A and B are shown apart, each in its own frame.
Chain A
Amino acid sequence: MIGKTRRKRTWFVAAVLASGSLFATALPAHAETGVTSSEIKLGITLPLTGAASPGYNKIGNAMNAYFKYVNDNGGVYGRKITLIQKNDEYSPQLSIAKTNELILKDKVFALVGPLGTANFTAVHKSVGIARRGVPSLFLNTGFSGFANKKAYPTSFTILPSYAMEAKIAAQFLKENFAGKKLGLVYQNDEFGIDALGAFKAAGVKFDVSVPYTSGTQGSATAQTWVSQLAAGGAQVVVFFGVTSATAALLGVAAAAKYAPQWVLGSVGSDPLILRALGVPVAVLNGALTLSGNPSPNDTSDEYVKQFQEINTKYNPGVAFDDYVLQGMNVGLMTVQALRAAGSNLTRKGLIRAMETKGSTFASVAYSPLGYSKTSNVGHTGYYMAVMDATGDRKPYGGSAVVYTTDSGSGPVVKSTFKRPAMPAKGLPTNS
């Protein structure tokens, strides 16, 4: 009896081992959260509704369009990318909840392009992004605080910081508007603080300075901004805020026939969105703006041309603007990062790939990428552009003169960087 039982057990164990090995063969080569043999699951939080949503609500769909294009062309090492978008309504508390959903419920492999400084600060602190080892690629915020690689070891920015932008703007103001009365309207949080610090360090003093609290922008509050600017006699007004606030400012100023030289920060200067929000195109004519990318209308640019084609097919009916361009570009960079991490995809491998190969990625922006083992900083420079009578953006002076700098005390220098070519057909083949 004992012998019989033992034989049965031996047979059972052998069967389990055999089935186990068969089962193991059928599994993907590895088991990383959000990755199977056929799919890579990614997530993004952004405002799809609410006052801050205009423009930003196009980024996720643009990324998705690019990923669909890649998926239709073989995916990434045979895996198709699925992007899950969560609407955080620009509320940090909701960003926490939605990111928790992405990580715990949807089990995404990585976050790509999460938007908003307060939002990602809240997420990083409360969700424990670094503690969980979740890669957070291409943060859609220019807060220089995220460049602290020790504090944000799994996160990587894409935009030049607000401090870099202000340093480059400061140099431009000094070279072109010396002696003019300067005004500044800025978002009264880390966005504005970054800019204020950089302007101050560069020796630029504003005659009129108007802070506004995020979320309060609207025509009523813009009336007070314009009154202060006009009363102070500001001849050149620099604006560091989101697009909905730019629209309020320009709209009210136009109605009040207050027409200073506008210098718009990169964040809130998309002409298509501004026009959609009611800003007369005549007001935009001559407005200066800092830009890192070519105009979305510049079809002579190989990136723009390719992305426009993808947008037409995979994002039909959606006007191609700065936000769509940015979303597509985040998609392009994401695919390169996934490829660089290899077919045996892991979160650690992705972070390693960003650190070792990220600076070589193709990107639509004209400035170099700063990724390395010690830096999680993305693009590092801007050029000055001017809007024309159609609201289109052209390089100031005829050609894009790109300046690069850092978020600290480093100098502003003219860039000699040569942008990598767009991968053939917009499909990366890097490894």
Chain B
Amino acid sequence: MRNFKFKRSLTLVAVSSLLSLTVVSIPTAARAADPACTTANFVTSCVGVTSDTAPYSMMVPANFNGTVYLYSHGYRPNVPVPAGIPGYGGYTVTNTPQPGPNATVIGALLAKGYGVVGSGFARQGWNADSAIKTNVELVGLFKKQFSKTTKVVAWGESLGGFITQALAEKHPDLFKAAAPLCMASDVTPLMTMAGDALWGIKTFFDPSIKGGNYSAGAAGYAEAMGDLVKVFTAIGALQAAMVANASTPAWPATSKVPDAIKAIPSRSALVMVALMSGVPLQSAHFDGASGAAAMGSQITSFQIAINPAFAALENLANAAALAVLATHDLELQAGGPVFDNTATDYAARIADEQFIWSSALSGVSGTQGLLSVLAASPRAKADPAALAKMKALASHTGKVEIPTILFTGVADPVTVAGNQQSVADKYAAYYADKWAAAKKAGERKRPVNKQLVLWNFTPDKYTKFNGITPDTSVPAATGTNHCNFTTTQYLAIADLLAYAADNGVNMSGGALLTKLRKAGNMTYDRGYSAPKMKYYGN
């Protein structure tokens, strides 16, 4: 295979920030039981704290129509991240309240007469259990403050999507409709994915990465931050190697795999890590399919062997930071290591996909070589008590009685599409049972389907090239990256929520399809099923 040598401008490790903080800040005077309110430009804004000290923000227009959107924000690390770490560097822990996805969406909702409310929650990190309580209290506070309130709808992204789904399941009395977006499903599959990805990076590229089992206190924090540096150093080395020679990129100097294994291109190990952990092989700039015409007869090898490896690199760079931070956080909460792969059969994990990505894995012999490294490497062991504690955290049943709208990108590298699929599958099973019971009772009419599942598909081909060099300066493709939605899509979801709240059912038929078409890149396809996550804990 010809060596692909690219311009040095190719940059992949530009991890998209998961932190989306809004403009709302809390005046010191507002830290009290009752909210402090001000009115300007026909909008009343109130800030305050709940009984568990979670700051919140409420915004209501003068022409308030009685419907309010409760927003739950995504994961924020619960420790500061030193400067220099891609994506997170310089982050300090904040519980700034966030009443909507962004200022534009908030403004548009207020202009339509809706209220918005959101909290910053009492703690950061994986906070679903406490955030659910906070939000329930917040609904009461909002109604008390704005007595015109008639309907509350919930929405949220990522971890906020988890919280939103849980609110829909547990508190149908409080909410008329809910929209979990780019949702996290249960913590066990998520942390397994994170653990597998970190363990894979450690095993192939730098065994000095701890990847978990962090010490208590400051020492553990230092270990986690050290891991971040090591993970991104390895990813940076891989990036440089692929830019220099994409066909047979060198292994990072920190790698300790046997020399015989190093005869396999390091890019194949990247693909292996993505496959074994469930990270998609389509990323912001790499569609896993395209080549440049200028590559001539080598175009096919780029398409099926190299493009997917770049996608793995870009996605792992996005997912790895969160994996380290979430692992550190969950271990602190659970009281010990929570990732356990002592019984994991990685060959079985990739069995369904290894032939699809055979070229990217350097054929059967390459696949077997990489699997032999995984089989021979020391495994991570969880603390049973910590694992039990983590599993006791809030989880989804999928059973909802209020209209819910699920929406995610099929190539989200962090909360992969399998998260949404698992909740869709749970509801489908619940619905089937419900219908069977109804039929047994003599009912002839099907129960109303309360769940609307929407997908943001990637375009067929979207990798751009300058000559033969992939162009990573263009915006991330739709359907890729974490919670990569447009304002139009957010507003379409908001409209669907309003409809559902008014009618008690989700929009359907031609009206739904028209709404989705106008928003763009929103697909309703009952026949689609996203790839499952690699492990659901059973």
Contact = CB atoms under 8 A, between A and B. Distances in A.
A13 interface: no
Given A93-B282, A93-B288, A188-B365, A50 B527 contact: no
Contacts of A103: 527
A218 interface: yes
Interface residues of B, number: 37
Contacts of A128: 527-529
A188 B363 contact: yes
Main secondary structure of the interface of A (DSSP, over half): helix
Interface in B489-538: 525, 527-529, 531
Contacts of A125: 352-353, 356, 531
Contacts of B525: 104
Contact of A218 (B298, B359, B366): B298
B299 interface: yes
Nearest to A89: B303
A90 B300 contact: yes
B260 interface: no
Nearest to A86: B460
Given A93-B288, A118-B355, A214-B304, A188 B460 contact: no
Contacts of B531: 125-126
A240 B199 CA distance: 37
B287 interface: yes
A190 B355 contact: yes
B304 A215 contact: yes
B366 A213 contact: yes
Interface in B324-357: 352-353, 355-357
Contact of A92 (B1, B356, B363): B356
A50 B299 contact: yes
B305 interface: yes
Nearest to A145: B355
A209 to B, nearest CB: 10
A357 to B, nearest CB: 28
Contacts of B457: 100
B216 to A, nearest CB: 43
B147 interface: no
Contacts of A188: 358, 362-366
B305 A216 contact: yes
Contacts of A190: 355, 358, 364
B441 to A, nearest CB: 29
Given A104-B525, A128-B528, A51 B299 contact: yes
| Most chain B beta carbons < 10 A, residue from A98, A103, A211 | A211
B365 A121 contact: no
Interface string A114-146: 000110011001101001100000000001010
Contacts of B299: 50-51, 89
A296 interface: no
A93 B355 contact: no
B355 A117 contact: yes
A204 interface: no
A189 B297 contact: no
Contacts of A50: 299-300, 303
Interface in B225-275: none
A430 interface: no
Contacts of A235: none
A-B pairs, 9 with minimum CB distance:
A188-B363, A189-B358, A51-B300, A93-B289, A215-B301, A97-B460, A93-B288, A213-B363, A91-B289
Interface of B: 1-2, 281-282, 287-289, 291, 297-301, 303-305, 308, 352-353, 355-359, 362-366, 457, 460-461, 525, 527-529, 531
Interface of A: 50-52, 89-94, 97-98, 100-101, 103-104, 117-118, 121-122, 125-126, 128, 131-132, 143, 145, 187-190, 192-193, 211-216, 218, 220-221
Given A94-B461, A188-B363, 19 more contacts: A50-B299, A51-B298, A51-B299, A51-B301, A90-B300, A91-B288, A92-B356, A92-B357, A94-B460, A118-B359, A128-B527, A128-B529, A187-B363, A188-B362, A193-B364, A213-B359, A215-B1, A216-B301, A218-B2
18 contacts: A51-B297, A51-B298, A51-B299, A51-B301, A93-B282, A97-B289, A101-B460, A118-B355, A121-B356, A143-B355, A188-B366, A189-B358, A189-B363, A190-B355, A212-B363, A213-B363, A215-B359, A220-B1
